[in-house]
Amino acid sequence: MYATSLGDDGAELRPLEVWHAGELLANIDRGRDFIGRHVGLPDAIRDLDGARAFLRSYADKRATDSGSLHGVWLDGTLVGGLLFRVWDTAAGVCEAGCWLVPDAAGRGLVTRGMRTMLDWAFDERGMHRAEWRVSSANEPSVSVARRLGMTRDGVLRADYPYRGVRTDTEIWSVLAPEWRAARARTVHNDH
């Protein structure tokens, strides 16, 4: 299996596969209330069968080149996930997302991991646009979009019924030329 280091703190980005169902369920159980504040993943993963079904759905997406799922491990423990929920090669558009357990929040894991994934999407796979869709109430996720240099394209007002309440969805995006220019500025400023 391969892993990509996310820094000197023992964090790694790895594929999240069907055989990780037990680890995924334990991850969701550790952060069920925290994760469920804004995303429905804990509602879909209530038991081992639910974890397997979720992982199988992403194995199918990977097989059809329509999405992918990666885990974030910290010191050998699964602490969250990064994903391309939507992957449309023909249009050159993908939608990224994430979740994290509360004790791993605030360490920059999502931002570091997503930078790796976006580098791959733009440089290796030729994507043109990466989107980040987030509840307006999910400030940590909105902050990730900002740290990634994304632009807020707009808000879909009351578009998503989450647990009986209509929520607003912000759409953030970054285009390949913007991503490359920002990366070049960072490399130039580091030297």
127-176 pLDDT, tens per residue?
Answer: 999 999 999 999 999 999 999 999 999 999 998 888 888 989 999 999 99
Mean pLDDT of 36-62: 94
Instruction: For residues 93 and 88, give the distance between their C-alpha atoms in angstroms, rounded to a whole number.
Output: 5
Is 3.30.420.10 the CATH classification of the domain at 4-190?
A: no
**Domains of the chain: which residue ranges?**
4-190
Segment holding 27, helix H or strand E: helix 21-35
DSSP code string of 68-89: EEEEEEETTEEEEEEEEEEEET
pLDDT of residue 78: 96
Which residues contact residue 135 at a Cβ distance below 8 angstroms, ignoring those fewer than 6 apart?
A: 38, 141, 160, 162, 167, 168, 169, 170
**What is the pTM assigned to this prediction?**
0.90
| Percent of the chain with pLDDT strictly greater than 90 | 81
Confidence of residue 27 (pLDDT cuts 50, 70, 90): very high
Q: What is the mean pLDDT of the chain?
A: 92
**SS3 of residue 110 by DSSP:** helix
Strands 165-175 and 77-88: unpaired
Mean pLDDT of 42-61: 96
- First-residue to last-residue Cα distance in the chain: 34
